[in-house]
Amino acid sequence: MAIRVGIPRGLLFYYYKDLWQNYLRGLGAEVVVSGETSQATLERGGLIDEVCLPVKAAVGHACELASAVDYLFVPRIVSVAAGQYSCPKIIGLPDMVRGSCPKLPPIIDNTINLRQGGLDVYRAVIACGRLLGKNPLTSLSAWYQACWNSSGAAAGRHPGDMTLKVALIGHPYMLNDRQISRDIVGKLADLGVGVVTADSVDPRTAENVTRRLTKRIFWHYCHRLAGAALALMYSLQPLDGMIFLTSFACGPDSLVGETLGRHARHLSLPFMLLTVDEHTAEAGFVTRLEAFTDMLQRRKSKCW
């Protein structure tokens, strides 16, 4: 019987889902991905304290998978770009999972650290393959095929012929998780708002526009997000507004959101910071979205 490897549906899974699944399948493993986040997932993950909601969700997913798989795949992604880190909570995720879930299967927590550049990812690919009983050559070829077959980031959403065009900025692990994001994308569509997300921005454009910041952001995923947000703000196609969706207690977002808000204010672009946590109530959330879109509509009809 094939080895069953579980991937928690949370955090960086949303960036690398095809890549990870293809790679593990290439190693002959049966891949089990946890289901969509539910209230129960968040309650399980809620046993860890003071972290942001996506981390709680990720830990909840890991606990849900624990009894059903032979290995849990929670790689320690320290850095994926020279000079940059991922978030500290992503770095510490394997340890938080280990410290919180009872009766865990072995965790595949190989470190990937490309901060100083280098070939650390191949070391991790080989080490992970060895754990599943494959030789280095098989592991590397599985990795190459996975890279080849993975489409990369999810396709960006493009606004149709909606009246309002709003940029929705948030980490993919928030926007694509309907429980965490309270299905904000669907709610905005119901309100007749066309949504553009960071995925629709070409990475190179995003990288170029970050030169507007005097200091490079050292959290890789925030850097990408901020770059995309700035690119949308300064692009020639006019936006009606920007919503920055973040989770309470997200460290990097607290500073990056402030910077983006200040850029938006200088451009007189309406900007709303929307913070969610497990206590976020549906009614309050909807009210804020409605108020924001009403304001945008009124602003537009006055032909500013």
Task: Say which DSSP state 253 is in.
Answer: H
Options 28, 187, 218, 278; binder of another protein; rule CB under 8 A: 218
Binding of residue 219 to another protein (CB under 8 A) = yes
Binding of residue 149 to another protein (CB under 8 A) = no
The CA R_g of the chain, rounded to the nearest whole Å, is 20
CB of 246 to another protein, least distance (A): 9
Options 121, 213, 286, 295; binder of another protein; rule CB under 8 A: 213
Q: What are phi and psi of 104, to 5 degrees?
A: -95, 145
Binding of residue 255 to another protein (CB under 8 A) = yes
Which amino acid, 117? G
Cβ proximity to another protein: between 28 and 92 the closer is 92
The Cα–Cα gap between 261 and 254 comes to: 11
Binding of residue 151 to another protein (CB under 8 A) = no
Q: How many residues bind another protein (CB under 8 A)?
A: 41
Q: Which two tokens stand for residue 23?
A: 């790679």
Residue pair 262/245 in contact (Cβ under 8 Å)? The answer is: no
Q: Which two tokens stand for residue 118?
A: 């280098």
Residue pair 28/3 in contact (Cβ under 8 Å)? The answer is: yes
Helix, strand and coil content of the chain, in percent to the nearest 5, comes to 50, 15, 35
Cβ proximity to another protein: between 109 and 207 the closer is 109
85 pairs with which residues across the strands? 219
Cβ proximity to another protein: between 49 and 161 the closer is 49
Cβ proximity to another protein: between 218 and 285 the closer is 218
Residue pair 152/227 in contact (Cβ under 8 Å)? The answer is: no
CB of 222 to another protein, least distance (A): 9
Binding of residue 250 to another protein (CB under 8 A) = yes
The Cα–Cα gap between 181 and 183 comes to: 5
DSSP-based three-state secondary structure for 102? coil
Binding of residue 217 to another protein (CB under 8 A) = yes
CB of 110 to another protein, least distance (A): 11
Cβ proximity to another protein: between 9 and 89 the closer is 89
Binding of residue 259 to another protein (CB under 8 A) = yes
Residues that bind another protein in the complex, under the rule CB under 8 A: 48-51, 76, 78, 83-89, 91-92, 94-96, 98-100, 109, 111, 213-215, 217-219, 248-252, 254-255, 257-259, 262, 275
